[in-house]
Structure 1
Amino acid sequence: MTRSVYVTGTDRGDGRQVIELGVMELLTRQVDRVGVFRPLVHGDGPDRLFELLRTRYRLDQSPETVYGLSYAEASALQAERGTDELVSSLVERFHAVARRYDFVLVLGTDYAGSQLPDELALNARLANEFGASVITVVGGQQQSAESVRAEARNAYRAYATLGCDVVALVVNRVAPADREAVAEQLAGSLPVPCFALPEEASLSAPTVAQIVRTLGAEVLLGDAAGLDRDARDFVFGGAMLPVFLPALTEGCLVVTPGDRVDLIVGALAAHSAGAPTIAGVLLTLDERPGPDILALAGRLAPGTPVISVPGGSFPTAAELFSIEGKLGAESPRKAETALGLFERHVDTAALANRISVAGSGRVTPMMFEHTLIERSRSARRRVVLPEGTEDRVLRAADVLLRRDVCDLTLLGEEDAVRKRAAELGIDLGGAQVIDPQTSPLRERFAEIYAKARAHKGMTVELAHDVVADVSYFGTLMVQEGLADGMVSGAVHSTAATIRPAFEIIKTAPGAQIVSSVFFMCLADRVLVYGDCAVNPDPNAEQLADIAIQSAATATQFGVEPRIAMLSYSTGTSGSGADVDKVRRATELVRERRPDLLVEGPIQYDAAVDAKVAATKLPGSEVAGKATVLVFPDLNTGNNTYKAVQRSAGAVAVGPVLQGLRKPVNDLSRGALVQDIVNTVAITAIQAQGEQPSERTEP
């Protein structure tokens, strides 16, 4: 039977979308096929939250199946035929969704201007008719801890009295200073888990793009990243420049008549200098600067939005203050912030247990990515990112910080890093930024590197220049325990990334070589491919080492290792130097690690296809169900992983380096933001396997 959970509230303004998004994240970690159902919807336009869920979680559900009825249709139906007929219609539409999915997330009504009497009772009845567990959300905005506690108790009793299976209660939008007090007052006061989430200003702040849509503004300057910035404050310009500039606040939208060129240029110049960074400039009265001024503005602050409206400052202000930020597919940063908030303050394991989320047995790419984030967060580590001015790295850092995945250090000239982050609308407040050129660590690292490479003729003077390179500096941070791992390669070559690791960190005890694996996330399982990135033509001893390392990496990331030593022949059917190498490597694995399941030589089809395995290697414990596939050389491995990635639509996570004493990982220079996020999470998890060092702040 399809399980379902109904997220509902008691009134408007509870910020319930944060909880709905968080629950969806929780469900998709463990269930392959999750559907969405919203009983009542306003109008015919697209549902912002569903579009976000569909985009973020790659849902295959068509929009027309998500909604039951419009509020107008529901009101008319209830008036004409009664509540029972209304409920019956909605139940029928819910089950049409439930038949197609393993779990359904139900989004309760929003109490916004409906004509329906007793909306709370309707939500309760629908939850009961759907057979859904209920998560009740209460808004705590502008309330004291005592009043929030009373409202939470009343909300629980309201739904429980109506027969609902209330599994948790969430108080959202609590004043940050009161969150702990609210959490303490709720603890033990109700027979279900209670969670308190603080108000997060950036979630209620509209983006510049949302302001453009709402006001019907014309965009004169600005790129997509600029339009995605949050307008956290509004500063209205009327004073002279010396009085106006000190009034600017971080992330503000400057509102000024379009003929005040001095304020426009001054605000953008202040943004360019980073004092402070602004969201953009809104020009009123349908006045626009000339082309020369606009060209200057574009050079002063590339990407920063300059928008224009026909109205005056007063009516524009009235509209601006009525706009509230919303979660949507067009603003993924808000989604990351919301998820970080949810995961910091909700015991997701306890909640999953309460709503009886049972794993599907399959491991989809999304489930694997969720697992990486969850595990990396479980024991916090610091990862250094040498490419601190690269846009993709900054965007990945934004996701990692918002999701509270790990601590980050970015390398690069600090003003340049923070300026570019501000231009992208990214807040690096939680990250450390170090400039290797000016850092006091440079002298210390030069001495360490000179000593380590003295046998190669390295001197302190030469080392002083070498360690200023971001890859060497980041590697030395890891070596010296100032960071737990490093991820680089978005703009640097593989050699530039891993050479310092070979020279400084060196191989782990028991490892002959450094090798790599890719996690290949197929539709229903995760396979481990090694080595596809480092060793061109390993000999039998090295191949055995790669297999043992790959098995250890698989185990570390929850993949039960069953090793297939790949070749162009299976068993004893072939001969020749290449096959003999694989056969010898297989024997060495069995000698060194008799506890591991390994088969070889074996062809790829016999390794992964049970029917082929039954013919070629009947009775094998590995054939047909291999999870770790070891390629005989780099040519075969690299081409195979790319063929599977492109042709089968697999998500390739890696390369993940193995065999080093401390984790350093390389990125493809074509890496996407999500690839960088995954690799940083993997690096943090690898570091959890190391003895944590006593870190001091550089």
Structure 2
Amino acid sequence: MKYTYFVAATGTGTGLTSVCLGLVRALDQLGVRVAFAKPIAQQFGTENEPERSTHLANATLGLKPAKPIELAYAQQQLAAGQSDPLMEDVIQMTQTSAEDADVLIVEGLVPVSDENYIPELNRNMAKALDADVILVAAKNADSTAQLNERIKMSASLFGGIESRRVIGCILNKVGAPDPSSQQVMAEEDPTDARNVKEGEALSVEDFTKILPVFQSDDFKCLGAIQWNPLLVAPRTSDVANHLGAAIINEGEIAERRVQSITVCARTMPNMLQTLKAGALVVTPGDRNDVLLASSMAALNGVPLAGVVLTGDLTPPESVMNLCHAAFKTGLPVMTSKLNTFSSAQRLNSMNTEVPADDIGRMENVMDDVASAINAKWLAERAEVIEERRLSPPAFRHLLVQQARAAAKRIILPEGTEPRTIRAAAICQEKGIAHCVLLGNPDEVRRVAQTQNITLPDSLEIVDPEQARRKYVEPMVELRKHKGLTAPMAEAQLEDCNVLGTMMLALDDVDGLVSGAVNTTANTVRPALQLIKTRPDSSLVSSIFFMLLPEQAVVYGDCAINPDPNAEQLADIAIQSGDSAKAFGIEPRIAMISYSTGQSGTGSDVEKVREATRIAKERRPDLLIDGPLQYDAASTPSVAASKAPDSDVAGKATVFVFPDLNTGNTTYKAVQRSANVVSIGPMLQGLRKPVNDLSRGALVEDIVYTIALTAIQAAQMSNS
């Protein structure tokens, strides 16, 4: 272990765990080997819940921090004057957690008003670990002067802002609404942003000027994490548990999130505007009109968070039958024994911390925190700024950075599909690519409104009805050798995939991403007809970037070629190796088979053996070996016995499968069984970048595929 950062909260409600894990993510994105430890447990939930910090570190980051010391035991040791033995336990625990890490992030205890021994524990742990101290503060209801004083007082516990070990503070929840302003009104939406005046979102530079505590050269503002209401949105199932509600219709209760609460004690016309994506409708159980209106919204594609029927009242069976089709859309419906006002009050008092089992939300929180922290300065201070590996977070970070630098225009033919619209908005806001949605503008805006998606002003929407005519003659010219006529071309251009591909063929856009609702054939066929393969490629193939816990690797071909011959398999290996290198992965290419080396015979293994020979002959600059069994390619201990002289075995980064059956089955088995994120498929061998999506793709998958496509476009334009 080379360097330790001890992270301490200045008070309650600072989001200490979120900041700690976000800091781990930020350093991981730089390629730093980073570990996490929570030396002493501090439970705020029920006793049977897992310790939140270590559980989330394991579930989101794949780390294995040691089990924390119980707080009650730590209290007993302090009371008995056994502070030194307790600190020995803390050191042992953190060393176990750190293993071979370059940097260790240690989460301290949150100060609680009636437990005055906690500051002493934090101070003793930081000293025992010889750690640099980073404070975490949130303004909450404090004035700016009070925030400054709170930071200064917390720093004094560790030696003050002048101490060389107290290096700075991370400000969380910047711009959050004042908690005292969020009063529940029986006829108002208590969490609607329109009713809450949020604080001003200030930058690190702003705080450096405003807060006197940061005007010392030795104490820095290390990050200013802006308040994001979407990151405090609980699942509807969390709301049901908090209310002790009975479930009438479960629907998608575990997936939907509460972004706003509308308390319906008004007439229908006065509350219709609140029925939007993520809204939780709270209404008396005898307001059948509200339930029916919510059902109509659901049937019109509005993903409400759910409906809470209060007063322990259930609608009659005739009304429930009318709502049956809406229930099948996934709309959660529950009943609360509390009245409407009391239900709303209880909802407003929900803990905004991320529950231990809400992994998806924690991932988003960590990414948000990581983007706001000056991790590079911290890595430089620890003298570990060099990238040592391309971890999954580092790979995703690299994708975003390279895509931003590429600044390419990407066409999305499925422009009215909700996930695609949301991904385009994200990419536009983050500068990942200039996205072009192909679809009727009115329909795109309607879908965006029902899904509560804010479309950036710079997001381009192209109406296919108006754009189509421009591409008829060029398409006839491209396909005249196939006998294509203008009427035939016009008919084919009715398909937005074909229209988008023609836009790419004529350089009106730089890349294309499709497949959220279309099949792979519908995406690839127009590309083969209109874009065609590169001169140096005999075929189009695909790869997936598999984000394994320790590193990102490449799998190919898992989506396109059913049974390539030896020549084609060699081409796939070369394409995959070049793609890996282009995306920052050092290619060590393993040609996968059921046999390793010369031990097996049969036509299948001979094909792999011949493909390996051809690929090596064509590209002596690439490290290629095969045939190798998967375990020999991936596991050093197996490689030592099965292929001891191989430069690839045991450390392969590119896995080339002998056929589509093997490749597709393997990637899906690894993805699902090991809960691994896969990005792709990314197509190889085309003159211009066209990429296919899985029809089950998440918004995040689409965002990263757009980033991949933008990077490919930049690489092709430079080659």
1:184 match: 206
Asked if the contact 1:520/1:528 (under 8 Å) is kept, the reply is yes
Paired residue type of 1:352? A
1:695 match: none
Q: Is 1:452 matched up with 2:453? A: no
Q: Structure 2: how far apart are the matches of 1:598 and 1:362?
A: 18
CA RMSD of aligned residues (A): 4.8
Deviation per CA, 1:283-337, whole angstroms, max 9, x where unpaired? 2211121122223334346322322211222322322222242223544453344
Q: Alpha-carbon deviation of 1:139? A: 0.8
Q: Structure 2: how far apart are the matches of 1:312 and 1:650?
A: 44
Q: Is 1:24 matched up with 2:24? A: yes
Identity score, percent: 34
Q: Is 1:266 matched up with 2:293? A: yes
Asked if the contact 1:156/1:169 (under 8 Å) is kept, the reply is no
Q: Structure 2: how far apart are the matches of 1:650 and 1:473?
A: 34
1:116 match: 116
- Residues 46-195 of structure 1 aligned to structure 2 (within 5 Å): 46=49, 47-60=51-64, 65-70=66-71, 74-75=74-75, 77-78=77-78, 80-82=79-81, 85-86=82-83, 88-89=85-86, 91-102=88-99, 103=101, 104-117=104-117, 119-141=118-140, 152=151, 155-156=154-155, 159-161=158-160, 165-175=165-175, 178-180=200-202, 183-186=205-208, 189-190=215-216, 191=218, 192-195=220-223
Q: Structure 1: how far apart are the matches of 2:235 and 2:633?
A: 51
2:354 match: 327
2:35 match: 34
Query: Do the aligned partners of residues 267 and 618 (structure 1) sit closer, same or farther apart at CA in structure 2, a change above 3 Å counting?
Result: closer
TM-score, normalised relative to structure 2? 0.77
1:295 match: 321
Asked if the contact 1:563/1:599 (under 8 Å) is kept, the reply is yes
Query: Do the aligned partners of residues 658 and 264 (structure 1) sit closer, same or farther apart at CA in structure 2, a change above 3 Å counting?
Result: same
Query: Do the aligned partners of residues 225 and 356 (structure 1) sit closer, same or farther apart at CA in structure 2, a change above 3 Å counting?
Result: farther
Aligned to 1:253, what secondary structure does the other structure show? strand
Asked if the contact 1:9/1:16 (under 8 Å) is kept, the reply is yes
Aligned to 1:53, what secondary structure does the other structure show? helix
Is the deviation greater in 164-173 or in 328-337? 328-337
Query: Do the aligned partners of residues 93 and 380 (structure 1) sit closer, same or farther apart at CA in structure 2, a change above 3 Å counting?
Result: farther
Aligned to 1:171, what secondary structure does the other structure show? strand
Asked if the contact 1:566/1:603 (under 8 Å) is kept, the reply is yes
Is the deviation greater in 221-230 or in 635-644? 635-644
Aligned to 2:354, what secondary structure does the other structure show? coil
Q: Alpha-carbon deviation of 1:41? A: 0.8
Asked if the contact 1:277/1:422 (under 8 Å) is kept, the reply is no
Query: Do the aligned partners of residues 548 and 365 (structure 1) sit closer, same or farther apart at CA in structure 2, a change above 3 Å counting?
Result: same
> Structure 1 stretches of 5 or more lacking a match?
693-698
Asked if the contact 2:207/2:221 (under 8 Å) is kept, the reply is no
Asked if the contact 2:252/2:332 (under 8 Å) is kept, the reply is no
Aligned length: 679
- Residues 222-233 of structure 1 aligned to structure 2 (within 5 Å): 222-224=250-252, 228-232=256-260
2:230 match: 202
Q: Alpha-carbon deviation of 1:528? A: 4.2
- Residues 303-314 of structure 1 aligned to structure 2 (within 5 Å): 303-314=330-341
2:179 match: none
1:686 match: 712
Aligned to 2:223, what secondary structure does the other structure show? strand
TM-score, normalised relative to structure 1? 0.79
Aligned to 1:178, what secondary structure does the other structure show? coil
Paired residue type of 1:215? L
Aligned to 1:8, what secondary structure does the other structure show? strand
Paired residue type of 2:92? H
Q: Structure 1: how far apart are the matches of 2:567 and 2:315?
A: 71
Asked if the contact 2:24/2:36 (under 8 Å) is kept, the reply is no
Query: Do the aligned partners of residues 373 and 8 (structure 1) sit closer, same or farther apart at CA in structure 2, a change above 3 Å counting?
Result: farther
Aligned to 2:70, what secondary structure does the other structure show? strand
Q: Alpha-carbon deviation of 1:661? A: 2.7
Q: Is 1:241 matched up with 2:241? A: no
Asked if the contact 2:513/2:706 (under 8 Å) is kept, the reply is yes
Is the deviation greater in 170-179 or in 479-488? 479-488
Query: Do the aligned partners of residues 3 and 95 (structure 1) sit closer, same or farther apart at CA in structure 2, a change above 3 Å counting?
Result: farther
Asked if the contact 2:9/2:16 (under 8 Å) is kept, the reply is yes
Q: Structure 2: how far apart are the matches of 1:156 and 1:599?
A: 55
Aligned to 1:110, what secondary structure does the other structure show? coil
Q: Is 1:256 matched up with 2:283? A: yes
Q: Alpha-carbon deviation of 1:259? A: 1.0
2:521 match: 495
Paired residue type of 1:127? A
2:585 match: 559
Q: Structure 1: how far apart are the matches of 2:527 and 2:23?
A: 40
Q: Alpha-carbon deviation of 1:356? A: 5.1
Asked if the contact 2:303/2:331 (under 8 Å) is kept, the reply is no
- Residues 253-402 of structure 1 aligned to structure 2 (within 5 Å): 253-270=280-297, 272-273=299-300, 278-300=304-326, 302-355=329-382, 368=395, 372=399, 376=403, 383-386=410-413
Deviation per CA, 1:495-534, whole angstroms, max 9, x where unpaired? 2221112223333454443333344666766554544544
Query: Do the aligned partners of residues 53 and 404 (structure 1) sit closer, same or farther apart at CA in structure 2, a change above 3 Å counting?
Result: farther
Q: Is 1:504 matched up with 2:530? A: yes
Q: Structure 1: how far apart are the matches of 2:298 and 2:134?
A: 43
